[in-house]
Structure 1
Amino acid sequence: MKSFYTYLLLAFTGTTSLYAQEIDTIPINTKGLDIKLKRSPLPSRTGTIPFKTVEINPIVVDAKVNYWKTRTSVGINVNQATFSNNWKGGGVNSLAVAGLVNYKAEYSKDSYSYVSELILEYGKVKNKDQLQKKTRDRIFWDNKAAIQLSKNWYFFGSINFESQFDSGFAYSKNAEGNEFPNLISKFMAPGYLTESFGFEYKPSKYFSTRIGTGSARQTFVLDTAVYITKDANDPFNPAKDKKAETKYGVDFGKKFKNELAFQIVMNFEKEVFTNTMLKSRYQMFIPYDRSLVNIDHRLDVSITSKLNRLMNVSLTGVGLFDRDNDTKIQGSQTLALGVTFVFPR
């Protein structure tokens, strides 16, 4: 029975295949038939398409790479106070004016860099019934050229100049109670010129350390008047004058002194808070021909906070230890509110 159904299925399949093959292979004679092909709606064109060459002029960009970056800031601070004659709180009329100019230029190309920084400061205060006195007076000009040796190390050479604009006085009172000034410093008395070369470590843009293995400093005292201390009660009597044999490390009768030394200079400048810049410079000068107790130290620190586009408040401080000037640490501090113009903006 199973064989019967199997034969029947095979017979049906074979018949269907033969029938499909016969239908698919039936020839059709198209001779004499009117067959029309439908025209394509797309446009057609025969022949060659001509191409015309069009000249395109290249665009030349007139741009130059500027390797210089400069910044100039000019600040003015004014402080004034006035009291009536019957003011019971006490006080003295005063007027203080101070100015600051800071110019910095930086050049950087490949492994070579150059930095020049100029700082000019001057200020005076006048109190009623008193002599005018200086509050700020400084000329500072630093120049440094460097060649990069590795990622953080440079070989540098630098030259630095420092002095002051105006005469400086030490004030005392005579028998009548009036102030008497004694000249103790002026322009190029003293003046310092320092040359140095060595290696610089700069791990970031805001911090660097110079190690000056070969440094020389010339100290100038060009006016011998700073050696003389006059008597406040009898200033016109030369017999009562006191003469110092050495001033700022320079012997009386000489104009300058040269020293060879090992020098370290550390610089830090960074925006520590929003619109608040911290800038510091520490300098250590170790003479080769003197004992270690004669190491010179100087630390300059300034914090400037910008209130708006023009106004700012600044706090500056200086600490100095130099046995050629004094056996004790010298210090100065200034707090000022003023106007600052920065170029370029």
Structure 2
Amino acid sequence: MKTSFFLLFLLGWSGVAMAQKPTRLDSIKVVPIDTVYWKRSAQAGINLNQGSFSSNWKGGGVNSIALGAFFNAKSDYMQRRFNWTSEVQLQYGIVKNQNQDSRKNVDRIFLDTKVGHRLSPVWLAFGNLNFLSQFATGYRYEQLPGGGERNVLISNFFAPAYLTESVGLEYKPTTYFNLQFGLGTIRQTFVTDDAITAGEPTRYGVAPGKNVRNEFAFQLIANFDRNLMENLNLKARYQLFANYATLNAIDHRLDISLTAKVNKYVNVNLTGIVLYDKDQDDAIQYSQGLAIGFLYSF
């Protein structure tokens, strides 16, 4: 009985469909299911810098060569009120100066994922997980009184490493700018290499004899990512971290990247970092880099 009813329903529906005006197949727009809500991008590249001088070069200088590699990827999923954004930044580079051992000039592991629920056209409630560390050992190079230098270990993989979990509100008025107010933020600072104690007495705020420090804080993050011109992109990320227990010592970090695309495979990249963290140093830290290299986007 049920089968007969189902067949009658199909026949009736077919008759209604046939009575309607036929639709041309070439007028139907077919959208792949996997690409309806996703936006993905990735970049990989190699940078090479080199300089050499003759033995009688009066302007001074030292022969050097630097090689770096990077991989950046980002995915953004949006469906109605739900949003999920993830980002990966991996960078590593070394430099070799004449009469010196090779040493790194860039080292970064950055992983970030955020889930949001849209409350209004410009406001979202979000949950965020972020990880920051480095690949290899880091040294401070000190000149010895009798000449030469010594290497003092000050950092390593997972020493330090920062794992941050945050929930709060996000203000996103445009696609290229947003503000995240992490009202409830917990950060774990890891120092898993005990040999760093001698080179970096503060141990990045981790108490002697321990490998992790927990902080409950307020976090503010501002992101800006926009093409200033057709082949010129500016990307900036500012982070404020205020431990509720020690509001008189607020951490600040600003990352800026300006990328000019020469052609499909060659780009010029200017980067800068400004950091103030009393658990690392009482003074402001900064780094800057300029590179030209091969870039592949997909």
Pairwise TM-score range, normalised by the shorter structure: 0.7 to 0.9
2:179 maps to which residue?
A: 209
Find the partner of 2:280 among 311, 319, 325. Answer: 325
Aligned to 1:17: none
- Confirm or deny: 8 A CA contact 1:131 1:179 kept in the other structure: no
Greater Cα offset, 171-180 or 154-163: 171-180
Report the residue type matching 2:244 in the other structure.
Y
Structure of greater Rg: 1
Task: Give the unaligned 5+ runs of structure 1.
Answer: 1-52, 230-242
User: RMSD of aligned C-alpha atoms?
Assistant: 2.0
Distance (whole Å) between structure 2 residues aligned to residue 90 and residue 215 of structure 1: 51
Q: Pairwise mapping of residues 218-257 of structure 1 onto structure 2 (< 5 A)?
A: 218-229=188-199, 244=201, 246-257=202-213
Residue 116 of structure 1 aligns with which residue? 86
Q: Which residue of 1 aligns with 2:245?
A: 289
TM-score (norm 2): 0.88
Give the number of the structure whose residues are more often strand, by fraction: 2
- Secondary structure class of the residue paired with 2:283: coil
Return the alpha-carbon distance in structure 2 between the equivalents of residues 206 and 135 of structure 1.
29
Q: Give the SS at the match of 1:248.
A: helix
**Equivalent in the alignment of 1:272:** 228
| Residue in 2 that maps onto 1:335 | 290
- The amino acid across from 1:222 in the alignment is T
Return the match for 1:103 from 73, 81, 97: 73
CA separation in 2, counterparts of 1:101 and 1:193? 20
Q: Post-superposition shift, 1:63? A: 4.6
Aligned match of 1:64? 32
> Which deviates more from structure 2 when the two are superposed, residues 268-277 or residues 56-65?
56-65
Could you tell me how far apart the structure 1 residues matched to 2:231 and 2:72 are? 18
Whole-Å separation in 1 of the counterparts to 2:60 and 2:171: 54
Q: 1:143–1:62: structure 2 CA closer, same or farther, 3 Å change rule?
A: same
- Name the residue aligned to 1:39: none
Deviations 1:287-344 (A, max 9, x none): 1111x3211100011111111111111111100000000001100111111111100x
Moved over 6 A (4+): none
Taking the aligned partners of 2:173 and 2:23, their CA distance within structure 1 comes to 47
**Contact 1:130–1:179 under 8 Å retained in 2:** no
- Relative to the length of structure 1, the TM-score reads 0.76
Deviations along 1:199-232, whole A, 9 cap, x unmatched? 0000000100000111000000001111114xxx
Identity %: 47
Residues in 2 aligned to 1:63 and 1:285: alpha-carbon distance in whole angstroms:
43
